[in-house]
Structure formats: structure tokens, C-alpha cells
Homo-oligomer: A and B are copies of this chain.
């Protein structure tokens, strides 16, 4: 190096997008919340500043963790904001999880505060009985047994003391495809440009109205909490995806943008209220490839669908099926085929690769299958307290997704197979190994394998193949109920098939044979 930069106090890594709206025009509408009404940008900022005060008073320091079990709504946005400002990690927990699952994450991330909502009071109370965090750190919106009123946190003085934001970012837990969920450590250098990439790819602007069909707890809402705010658009919150409410809000609020898994598209597209929209709505979908039928239906209704792909470890949508103008003249079927591909790295990703076992690129011939490998600022910092898993996930700096795919000659990647253990049901990931462990815990069970069965409604559902101990007895209903006491209801198998399991000569269960049997309609 021949020279040193002569830099003065360098500008801070600018905030993730919250201040922009509030600083410019405090009176502008920022959030529409069915529970909290209309909230201006200035009010959103003030509410966040009050939370900073309340949580600092509780003892939270830079780098500490804040966990939430909240529906989509203004409080969740305000907590994202407060954590970003104060330099805390925030762990938004899936509110479909059962008490013990919530407790595991709260303890594992070493949360100094847990903020819940009375809608999930039952599981929150169960969780509270197990966690190390005492009642002084638990707060609830509405009444939850063993939790303090949220107002104690949110009704104080605003604290506007800035933080340098060099630490503190979301810490999102995976669905635990290889057992227990892992804490995925995010970082500002990922979230900040990723939020801008989301704006760039979706066309958010101050004229945009964004409907929160996507859960905010899902990979931090794919970074849309920051993207919508950075663009100066309006958040419309939806605590629960209900097609009637979605259609009411699309019309009443003039919604221009929303996201969801293909199952959410089906719910919207085939709702009784469905009718063509007046101005086009931009819809991003991910979690599974959209089918030609649903793409056709959404196009008829005036929705412009973009297919995205991502993982918890990649701040959500790390790849995009970027539409190319030369495809406009193709037939509908061909267009649907192209649109269902996972595509290419987004504008802040390195080129997405598909690699063989030795880490070499497979040929871009649309045939050779390899593992999708990703790199860029939008890859996590690592797994929390698990350096071994962190290193294993990226042996050469390229993060291995566990998903198998091909590269087409035009450079677009298409998934051929999800990593075998994952079942994607209603957009939620279910780790088959986790369900297997719950079933194996039943006294009558000798061995078990759980695989995905296709479902019109949910995309996939888990099906259990079970061998009982000799002379032992258990019914299908007993097994399912057994799982429900341990895991979220959606993870319980939809049916249970009893009998011997197919195995390799070395004794490994041949899941692919079970999948074949499932597809043949056995379950």
C-alpha cells in the first residue's frame, strides 16, 4: 500500500432505515395496525425510544439479547427499532412453537428480556415455568400468567442516546433441521445492504403500501421491517393471515406489496373475496416454488409474482428469480417454468454456486446436481455458541445450504431436492429428525422415520413410519397426541403407518423408499 487514507471521524454505519422516515416527516403515516390504529413516523420513533429507556432501565446493555413471542404488529416493529438503536440482539421466536420449544430458545440465547402477547398466553406460561429468566424480565401485551405489564417497559421517558451500532442485530433461530434449533447470528453489515437489496428488487418507495402477510418472526420478516422503512413506505400489519382480512386491507389501504409462501398465495388467490385488483400488487413468494396454476391465478388477479429463495442463515431472500425482458414473449407454460426457478444471487450476493462434494462447480447444464453454496454480506456471522457447526457450514468460506440443485445454461439455479430431512408445511420448516425424536420418546416405539407427503393445502405434511417394540401397543391417535404434547401442533404427523422400515445393508433407514410409498398414496 502506497498511501494511508487521511480520514477524519468516519461516518457511522448509518441506521438500518428506521430514522429516515421519522427524521424527514414525523407526521407521515408509517404503520397501520388493526390493534394499535394509525401510527405516524414520529410516534413510531418515540415509542421505540421509550422502549430503549425501559429496557435500559431493566439492565440491558449493548450486545445483550431480547426475545419476543409476538404477532405482526407495531410492538414487534418498535422492538426491532429499539434493538437496532441500542445495540441489542433481538430473537423473534415463532409464536406457533410449544412452551418447551420457546423455553429452549429463551435459555439458549441467554435472553435478558422476553416480551410476549396474551394471544399466546398458554404456551408462554408453560415456557415461563422452565426458563432461567425470572419474572423481572418477562413482559406481556395483555395478561399472561407470570409476566409483567408491557406498559412498564413502554410508557416511560424516551431515551434518544445513540449507540454506535457496531454490535447488536437480530439473532434468529433456525427451525432446527438437524435437531435443536440453532441461533443464527446476524450482523449489521448483512442486514443493512440486504434491506437495500430488498427495496431494489421489489420496488418499494414512499408510494408503496406493504401488507404484512409474512410473519415478522420469519428471518426478521426477510428484512422487510427495515426495507419498508428505508424506502419510506407504509407498514400495514396483519396479526394472522386471514383471506377475508387480506382482501379487505388490499382494497381499503391500497396495498401495493406483500409476500408469502405459495400456500399463502393459494389462500389469497382462491378466497371467495378474490377479484382483480385495480393497481398491480407486487408479490414476492418463497419457501417452495410456485406452481403454474397459482402463477396463472395470481396473474389473472393482477398480482406480479417474483420468486425468491433464502434461508434463516442468509437474512431471508438471498436469491431472486430476476425476470429477464427476453422472456416476455414466451408462452405462459414456459414463463411459469422459468418463474419457478430459484434464480440468481440478489444484488448484494456473490454469484450463487452449485458445487459437488469437493467444492467444485458442477457444469451449468441443467442436469448435474450439486449443493447450493452462497457467499456475501448477507450470510450470517455464525451459529451462536457453536463454532464447530459454524465452521462445518462453510468449510471453504462458501455457506452450504443443504439444498440440492442444478445450474441452467443461462446461469439460473433451480432446486432439485430440498435437503432430505426438511418438511415444508404451510411455509414452516419442520425438521423430520425433531419429530422422529418426539415419537421415539413414546414407550411403545422401536424405531421411526418421518417423511414429507404432498398436501394440497399445506404443500407438505409430515407422515410417520413407525415400528413398535415387540408385543407393544400404540394407536395412530396416541402417537399424534404424544407429539402434540412436546412440539408445536403443526409438527405432529398427519398419519402414522406401522410396520418394518426399509434399510440399507449397513442398517440406515432408506427414507427415499418411504417417500416413494407416500407418493404412491400409502399414507
User: How many whole Å from A371's CB to the nearest CB in chain B?
Assistant: 17
Residue A205 at the chain B interface, CB threshold 8 Å:
yes
Q: Residue A345 at the B interface, CB < 8 A?
A: yes
Q: List 16 A-B contacts (CB under 8 A).
A: A2-B61, A2-B63, A3-B63, A5-B185, A6-B185, A8-B387, A10-B381, A19-B350, A24-B412, A25-B412, A28-B410, A199-B347, A200-B230, A203-B203, A205-B322, A206-B324
Please, which residue of chain B has its CB at the minimum distance from the CB of A391?
A: B8
| 20 further A-B pairs in the complex, CB-CB below 8 A; given A8-B382, A14-B348, A206-B324 | A1-B62, A1-B167, A2-B61, A3-B110, A3-B384, A5-B382, A6-B382, A8-B390, A8-B393, A8-B397, A11-B350, A12-B375, A14-B350, A14-B376, A17-B347, A19-B350, A19-B351, A23-B411, A196-B196, A196-B197
Q: Enumerate A159-175 residues with CB–CB distance to B below 8 Å.
A: 167
Which residues from chain B contact A9 at a C-beta distance below 8 Å? 394, 397
* Contact residue among B1, B61, B383 (Cβ-Cβ distance under 8 Å from A6): B383
Please give me the residue from chain B that is nearest to A13 by CB atom: B377
Q: Does A270 belong to the interface (CB within 8 Å)?
A: no
A232 CB–B CB distance under 8 Å: yes
Contact A20 B351, CB 8 Å, known A1-B61, A206-B325 = yes
Tell me if A302 counts as interface (CB < 8 A to partner B).
no
CA distance A351 to B20 in the complex (A): 6
Q: In the complex, are the beta carbons of A344 and B382 less than 8 A apart?
A: no
Interface string of A71-98 (1 = CB under 8 A from B): 0000000000000000000000000000
- CA distance in complex: A11, B377 (Å): 6
A171-214: CB near B (< 8 Å → 1, else 0) gives 00000000000000101010011001101110111110000000
Question: 1/0 per residue A230-252: CB within 8 Å of B?
Answer: 11100000000000000000000
Residue of chain B at shortest CB distance from A386: B6
| Residues in B neighbouring A379, C-beta threshold 8 A | 11
Q: Is the CB of A11 within 8 A of B324?
A: no
A324 near B207 (CB under 8 angstroms)? yes
Oligomer: number of copies: 2
Could you say which residues of chain B place their CB within 8 Å of the CB of A397?
A: 8-9, 11
Q: Please report A residues at the B interface, Cβ cutoff 8 Å.
A: 1-3, 5-15, 17, 19-20, 23-28, 61-64, 110, 167, 185, 187, 189, 192-193, 196-197, 199-201, 203-207, 230-232, 322-325, 344-345, 347-351, 375-377, 379, 381-387, 390-391, 393-394, 397, 410-412
Take A14-B376, A192-B193, A200-B204 as given contacts and tell me if A2 and B110 are in contact as well, using a CB distance cutoff of 8 Å.
yes
Assess whether A7 is in contact with B193, with CB atoms less than 8 Å apart.
Answer: no
Q: Check B20 against A347 for contact (C-beta < 8 Å).
A: yes
* Residues in B whose Cβ lies below 8 Å from that of A15: 350
Assuming A1-B62, A9-B394, A196-B196, is B344 touching A24 (CB within 8 A)?
yes
- Enumerate chain B residues within 8 angstroms of A167, measured Cβ to Cβ: 1
Is B323 touching A206 in the complex (CB atoms < 8 A)?
Answer: yes
CA–CA, A7 and B185, complex, Å: 9
Across-interface contacts of A64 in B (CB, < 8 A): 2
CB closest chain-B residue, reference A254: B325
CB distance from A160 to the nearest CB of B (A): 13
Contact B345 A20 (CB under 8 A): yes
Contacts A206-B323, A207-B324, A322-B205 given: A348-B5 contact, CB under 8 Å? Answer: no
Q: Would you call A11 and B351 a contact (CB within 8 A)?
A: no
Query: In the complex, which residues of chain B have a beta carbon less than 8 angstroms from the beta carbon of A25?
Result: 344, 410-412
Find chain B residues with CB under 8 A from A382 CB: 5-8
Within the complex, what minimum Cβ distance (angstroms) separates A309 from chain B? Answer: 14
- Given contacts A5-B382, A63-B2, A411-B24, whether A196 and B206 have CB atoms under 8 Å apart is no
